[in-house]
Amino acid sequence: MPEIDYSRIEQLLLKENHNVGLAFAEGFVFLRVLYRELVWVTYDPSIEGLTTLVNIPGRTFRSKQLFSSPSGELNVPNVFKVDKSFHVYQIFIGIQPSQAKLFLAAESTEQKELDVATWGTNSDYRFGYVDGFQSQFYRPGPQGELFLTPQLGETFGVFNPMPYTMSPTFSFSLNRMQIAVIKDGNMVSRMLQGVTPARLASVGGGIASPRYNMEKEWKVKPVRLDATADEVRAAVGG
């Protein structure tokens, strides 16, 4: 097996003590990375039993679905299920063959769409995708990045644009992180102002982010980028 080349994503990989603001529909929640481990996982639908992604006819779109392993080696209903309250996944997806196009949907909402067109309803697959030219199987690129939080359902559509049958395979460079929620209102305000460094990223892969779903466990509320200091303190409780 070729050596995995992380050179294109090295600067994006979050590490211990890094801050990140994750964008939900209502605003940002700020987290600090306590621990992390980088795991490389391969996903072959033919091995995992996901038959809908095997031998895809030419110029055919497979509707969005979970990356599951109903009868395969992983044997899980959702490969990307995050079931620990203080774990967050930063994922970079690699694709082969390079022509295969992967589309993301968070909580069944299409990501990377246009204001005037949605690939999920317009059947127009010229935009909104990641392919193996952008993010290779053994050399993932920044275009294949997405963040996942607990209780979030991420589904994927796959398009074969070629005139022949295709059985794509995928790799996941998975930065599995244990996080702490930042509840210091002054620090969050400094991050919003750009004074204290923090990576800002959308959950789910696009700007149509899912609604915030962790208030019970994380015990904060999201804040908008233009929030006042009083609004920030009220949201994070400090």
Number of domain units in the chain: 1
Percentage of the chain beyond pLDDT 70 is: 100
Residue 199 has pLDDT above 90, yes or no: yes
Q: What is the rounded CA–CA span in Å between residue 162 and residue 140? A: 22
Q: What is the rounded CA–CA span in Å between residue 135 and residue 165? A: 21
Whether residue 53 contacts residue 134, with contact meaning beta carbons closer than 8 Å, is answered with no
Residue 102 has pLDDT above 80, yes or no: yes
pLDDT of residue 120: 83
Residue 219 has pLDDT above 90, yes or no: yes
pLDDT of residue 122: 78
Local confidence band at 226 (pLDDT 50, 70, 90 cut-offs): very high
Residue 238 has pLDDT above 80, yes or no: no
Residue 211: domain span = 19-236
Structural domain includes residue 121: yes
pLDDT in tens, 168-197: 999 999 999 999 999 999 999 999 999 999
Structural domain includes residue 97: yes
Structural domain includes residue 6: no
Tell whether the torsion through CA atoms of 27, 186, 35 and 137 is positive or negative: positive
Structural domain includes residue 52: yes
Structural domain includes residue 11: no
Whether residue 42 contacts residue 170, with contact meaning beta carbons closer than 8 Å, is answered with yes
pLDDT of residue 108: 86
Backbone angles phi, psi at 30, to 5 degrees: -105, 135
Whether residue 165 contacts residue 18, with contact meaning beta carbons closer than 8 Å, is answered with no
Structural domain includes residue 5: no
pLDDT of residue 1: 74
pLDDT in tens, 106-136: 998 999 999 988 898 878 899 999 999 999 9
- Report the predicted TM-score, pTM, of the whole model to 2 decimal places: 0.96
Structural domain includes residue 163: yes
Least confident of 35-39, 109-113, 143-147: 109-113
pLDDT in tens, 69-100: 998 888 899 999 999 999 999 999 999 999 99
pLDDT of residue 35: 98
Computed on alpha carbons and rounded to an integer, the radius of gyration of the chain in Å comes to 18
Structural domain includes residue 13: no
